[in-house]
Amino acid sequence: MASVRRFRLAVCILLGTLTLGLFWGALFRDETFVERDLHLFYRPAKSLIAPLTRLSEGIPQWNPLFASGQPFAANPEHEIFHPLTTLFLFLPFEWAFRCQVMVPLLFAVFAMFVLLRTLHRGRGASLFGGLAWGFGGYQLSVTNLLPILFATAVLPLAVAFVLRVARDARPLDAVGLALSVALLGLTGEPTTFLMALVFMAAALCMSGPAGRWGNGPPRFRSRWRVGLLIGFGLIMGIALAGAALVPGIHHAAKTIRASGVSAFDANGWSMPAVRILDFLTPYSLGHGSSRDPAAYWGHAYYRDHGRPFLYSLYPGLVTTFLAAIAWWTRLRRPRHRWALLPWLAVAAVGLVVAMGENFPLWGLLRRFPGLASVRFPEKFALLAVFPVVVASAFGFDQVLGGPARGRRGLIRALAVFAGTCVLLSIILAVASRASVGTVAHSAQVASRDFGRQGLFAFGFLLLLRFGRRFQRSDLGLLVCAGLALDLGTSGKELVPTVSVDRVAMAPPHVQALLQQPGRELLFDEAAFDTSLIVGAFPTPPMYATWGLATTLDIDFDLTQLRWTHESLYLFWEAVNKDRRLLEPLLLRRGVTAWLKYVPGVYLDHGQLRWPSDRPAPIEVLRPPGQSLFAFAASSVESVHGGDGWLSAVRRHGPAAARVACVDNMELSAFPSVPGPATVTVIERRPMAVVLSVGAEGPGPSFIAINQTWDAGWHATIDGVASQVYRTEIDLSGLVVAPGQHQVVLAYDDPSVRLGIIVSSLAAMVLLGVVLFTRSAAARPLRRT
């Protein structure tokens, strides 16, 4: 018991030290996470959860602030049904947002610990693997990609329950598998879910309950029972995640992903083969997360993005060496090959797939159904990182709990690596003195990086060489402490924080738009000038953080409705051919504020410069005329597709500001000059709009509504159902007969309701299994 208490104390100290070291600013200095997508997309999206839930009086199905309005609950990117999302309903926003990053990392340590204990690894080895997984380069790199972070945090737990079912064939373990699979499904990250299935299959190739894992071919007590329980766990887990999966699948069918993404989008962030060196150093291609261009010399390998998708794959220096020793020694013993051979095969395939367009396999995989919409091959490096961590735990027990010769082999390898790193550090230091400018700076940074790795290799070498005086358990804890120090120092730059005021306070040009909350609709032309984007100014959808709605947004993650995505490209096609159409088309969409760079702005060494007579580089313009959310169209045209719309707006020219181009052949007989009408907005909430329409006749009027069309929007006119037509490619409109009427538009996505029903039924079934199993287990006790 004393050793157990000492181990638990060591765990608390290590996790506490790592957490404080990485997140001191977030915990005690009122700072928040801002890296990449966290600031550009997830912060504005998460900031809407509480207000939209309140205004919607329930599940927020519609978000009126993104791209003239978009589905919210159905979009998997928002993880509305994930347990961590509920924190936004009970905690202050900043603390709930910080927890989105910190909690999954700690949970990942726990999940990997459980998996390795299930694999009969020692406590020290399991803690080592947990630290390498939870705070390794991959996990820290995806802290700015929340769906992947949430999924990878729980992934080891799902694999552990598969193994527990295979070992003991207990229904309760099948329930645990269902719960962990449900957590995977609720993230809305299908790629990680597919990789989880691969890991489950690899784990099942290890030995069964006849002995310790890895001592022979798989042997299960009852293959039929095990197969049924695993199938039950997977099916019930998917059903339990139905609240997110059912509407998510329905929503995906309405995006451009349904027909597959382009090769350009799919091949983006293909991993270069040289990044395999990331398993030995966190900076094989430089500091990918650095804002200093000279600190990252891997630009040529990422021609489309300039930065890697994953900043680091580094699982810790000694982690890679221990995994290599475990694979080498076990593959030489036929009886023990079953333990790690499947993991080695998965790792090799993962590296090849992660290379994307740099290797033919990626192109072949994209031909399979469902994989044509997968992007960013580098994320498949998870297939290599995960097995390395698992194998390192086997190596840990082998080296620190086995014969001395295993330890001597590791010491020799570390000595060679340390010497190599020191030599390279010296060479690069000399080269930096002999060079000038960017080359000198890059060489200096690389010299420090190699020196760091050499120092850590030498430290582990000394620890193993003179660790004989320690008990095995204490030496294992010291190695874990060294790993924590290694990962903490290398990973700090992957989770940067800045003062909350710096990101929460609206810039001056935005503050001027906050005088009329809820009435502004922004079009940010500056966001499309890629030559001047420096990250210093907000771009859509970031304006939603301050409650400002935008239109014609860039489809940040290809999850906008397909017609919204199409309308943006058609808009620019029309404007680029005739610049005079810009203002009429903005008026047609109800834009009240138009943001653009002032004349004379230029980029100077990464800094934005503008004329001295201008107070800021961005100016706010107001399109001439009256911008309205809903109005009576002066003319109606029935058009077919994008080409028809382009032809119509070119023909109407400036008059296009009040023309409704209806993408529906049912309106072909509608009079081109509809009756005039007055339109007043009585109420406007996220999922409901009430209009008062006075149609003057003599013919029907057409009411154009500057809100994205979706099949979930239903209209009633004086209580009678009416059709909502799609106009301007992605907006809405309806026909109103002469007279005074009340028009009510309400949004309801049946797939959201169906998903909740599926999840509820699955939860009831799992609860029934738990109660029945416990009752059956207690029954023999009552008889005695």
**Tell me: the pLDDT tens digits for 518-543?**
688 999 998 887 766 666 678 899 99
pLDDT digits (tens, 9 = 90+) for 60-87: 999 999 999 999 999 999 999 999 999 9
Can you list the pairs that 326-329 forms with residues at least 24 positions away whose Cβ atoms lie under 8 Å? 326/391, 326/392, 326/394, 326/395, 326/398, 327/391, 329/398, 329/406
Mean pLDDT, rounded, for 88-94: 95
Q: What's the rounded mean pLDDT across residues 737-749?
A: 95
Q: Please name the amino acid found at residue 584.
A: P
Predicted confidence (pLDDT) at residue 337 exceeds the cutoff of 70: no
ω into residue 308 within 30 of 0, thus cis?
no
**Rounded-to-integer distance, Cα 138 and Cα 155, Å:** 13
How far, in Å, are 71, 541, 624, 657 from residue 567 at the CA level? 17, 17, 22, 16
- Say if residues 461 and 418 touch (Cβ distance below 8 Å): yes
Burial of 499 (0-12, 13-18, 19+ CB in 10 A): middle
Mean pLDDT over the full length of the chain: 89
Q: Which of 218-227, 392-401, 603-612 has the lowest mean pLDDT?
A: 218-227
Give the pLDDT of residue 208. 47
Looking at residues 682-700, what average pLDDT do you find?
Answer: 93
Q: Degrees (nearest 5) of the Cα angle 193, 753, 554?
A: 60
C-alpha 649 chain-centroid distance? 38
Q: What are phi and psi of 598, to 5 degrees?
A: -70, 155
Angle at 51 between CA 49 and CA 53, to 5 degrees: 65
Look at residue 371 and tell me whether its pLDDT is greater than 90: no
Q: What is the mean pLDDT of residues 739-759?
A: 96
- Please determine, for residue 207, whether its predicted confidence score (pLDDT) is greater than 60: no
d(CA 164, CA 45): 38
What are the tokens at 307?
Answer: 């930065």
Mean pLDDT of the 361-387 span = 88
What's the pLDDT score for residue 404?
62
Q: How confident is the model at residue 209 (pLDDT cuts 50, 70, 90)?
A: very low
- Maximum distance among all alpha carbons in the chain? 99
Extract the tokens encoding 490: 């290398």
Reported residue count of the chain is 784
CATH topology (fold) of 630-748? Immunoglobulin-like (2.60.40)
State yes or no: pLDDT of 219 exceeds 60. no
So what's the pLDDT on residue 784? 43
Bin 313: left if φ > 0, else alpha if -120 < ψ < 50, else beta: alpha
- The confidence score (pLDDT) of residue 217 equals 47
Residue that wins the pLDDT comparison between 123 and 259: 123
Task: Average the pLDDT over 671-678 and give the result.
Answer: 86
What is the rounded average pLDDT of the residues 37-42? 93
Per-residue exposure over 175-203, b if at least 16 CB sit within 10 Å of its own CB, e if not:
bbbbbbbbbbbbbbbbbbbebbebbbebb
pLDDT of residue 666: 64
The pLDDT of 221-236, averaged and rounded, is 87
Domain ranges of the chain: 14-402+470-498, 502-621, 630-748
Looking up tokens 């979706």 gives: 710
Burial of 620 (0-12, 13-18, 19+ CB in 10 A): middle
Query: What average pLDDT does the segment 341-345 reach?
Result: 86
For residue 669, name the pLDDT band (cuts at 50, 70, 90): low
Q: What is the pLDDT of residues 502-515, one digit of tens each?
A: 988 888 888 888 87
How many whole angstroms separate alpha carbon 344 and alpha carbon 383?
10
Band of the pLDDT at 691, cuts 50, 70, 90? very high
Task: Copy the structure tokens of residue 578.
Answer: 């005739």
Please state, in angstroms and rounded to a whole number, the distance separating the CA atoms of residues 162 and 202: 11
Give the model confidence (pLDDT) of 162-204 as tens digits: 999 988 889 999 999 999 999 999 998 999 999 999 999 988 8
Cis geometry, peptide bond prior to residue 623 (ω within 30 degrees of 0): no
**Arithmetic mean of pLDDT, 277-285:** 93
Given a cut of 70, whether residue 729 has pLDDT beyond it is yes
Write down the pLDDT at residue 605: 67
What is the spatial distance between Cα 630 and Cα 617, in angstroms, rounded to a whole number? 32
Bigger pLDDT: 470 or 646?
Answer: 646
pLDDT band at 210 (very low <50, low <70, confident <90, very high): very low
Lowest mean pLDDT among 25-29, 209-213, 370-374, 683-687: 209-213
Report the 10 Å Cβ neighbour count for 518. Answer: 10
SS3 491: helix
pTM comes to: 0.94
Confidence of residue 293 (pLDDT cuts 50, 70, 90): confident
Kindly tell me if the per-residue pLDDT of 665 is higher than 70.
no
pLDDT of residue 535: 61
Instruction: State percent of the chain over pLDDT 90.
Output: 64
Q: Give the pLDDT confidence score for residue 362 in this predicted structure.
A: 85
Q: What is the mean pLDDT of residues 334-339?
A: 64
